[in-house]
Amino acid sequence: MNFGVSILDFGLGKTIRKAFFRIESRSKNNLKSKIQNPKWSGIVAFVVTFAMCGARADAQPPGKIFRLGVLDSSTASGMAVLLDAFRQELSKLGWIEGKNIAIEYRFAEQKPERIPELAADLVRLKVDLIVVTGRAPGLAAKKATTTIPIVMTSFPDPVVEGLVASLARPGGNVTGLSSLTSELNSKRAEILMDAVPKLARLGVLRQAGTPVRGDLRLSDLRAAAAVLKLKLEEIETRVDAKGLESAFKTAKQKQINAIIIGGGRLFFAERKQIVDLAVKHQMPAIYPQEGVCR
């Protein structure tokens, strides 16, 4: 099985280019992926990938109920807005939950150590496809199975992380979307320079416990800060109420003038609190996607 990986560009929250895939059933135990590239507008990248890669219900054997696994590191409540849009887009493609697809949701509830166990659980259920929503779920799913197709959403650099061999010919059982988040963080720094008068100290929130070495998002941001002559302050935080409150207090103590919010699923799940804290501390902030307040 050989899939192609699509590159997804975000124009500071607005999708410039989107790609989705069509998965057809060749037999009960054989799935083949074909790539299509129509341009959609107004749909979050997460949802585009989630829409079963554009799978067509009318291509499936009548009466067959396919099982889709969703593996996410955050919470069901935090991802509700995207899951609602996901189900709506699936229905437009003819996929109705409870009618011709069954969806097994697995949320780690902000506890990364649970992700491998949840990935193994989906494999034991013998789902037809697993959708992963970030670095840790992607790596855990790949370790758990080499046969079940895995669709990744907005993975920063699947090649560097060892998830695929290359973007053109990834090989194995993984496909999906790779986002240019590393390059876009540099652009966000430039926009903050224009938007915030006398910007000198720039902060970036980073999830505690995540590896720093080899993180292209951070390395590109460091390089951009150096070029822009900005002091970059990296604030490691637990992505929960207490941790985020402490992170913003640290930002004020360090006299940070503006802050970049990380693009991981955990930050998205806590987006409302992050926006409220930015307002409370009068901290200009820039976010990885539009609609963070919803």
With a pLDDT cut of 70, the percent of the chain lying above it is 71
Neighbours of 28 (CB within 10 A): 9
Cα separations in angstroms, 157 against 70, 90, 134, 182, 219? 20, 27, 11, 9, 13
Helix, strand, coil distribution of the chain in percent, nearest 5: 35, 25, 40
Domains of the chain and CATH, by start: 5-179 (3.40.50.2300), 182-286 (3.40.50.2300)
Provide the pLDDT for residue 133: 83
Confidence of residue 215 (pLDDT cuts 50, 70, 90): low
Provide the pLDDT for residue 181: 60
* pLDDT > 90? residue 57: no
Structure tokens at 2: 């050989």
Please state the rounded mean pLDDT for residues 162-186: 79
Among 138-142, 176-180, 186-190, the range with the most confident prediction by mean pLDDT is 138-142
Mean confidence (pLDDT) of the chain = 76
* pLDDT > 90? residue 229: yes
Between residues 214 and 131, the one the model is more confident about: 131
Provide the pLDDT for residue 257: 96
Residue with tokens 């409302």: 272
Provide the pLDDT for residue 27: 31
* pTM metric for this prediction: 0.61
Cα separations in angstroms, 135 against 36, 64, 71? 24, 31, 11
Provide the pLDDT for residue 274: 92
Which tens digit of pLDDT belongs to each residue from 97-113?
989 999 999 999 888 89
**Torsion of the alpha carbons at 195, 201, 206 and 209, rounded to the nearest 10:** 180
Please state the rounded mean pLDDT for residues 19-24: 29
Residue with tokens 């720039």: 202
Which tens digit of pLDDT belongs to each residue from 77-95?
888 888 888 888 889 989 8
Q: What is the rounded distance in angstroms from the CA atom of residue 62 to the CA atom of residue 54?
A: 18
Q: What is the rounded distance in angstroms from the CA atom of residue 277 to the CA atom of residue 281?
A: 6
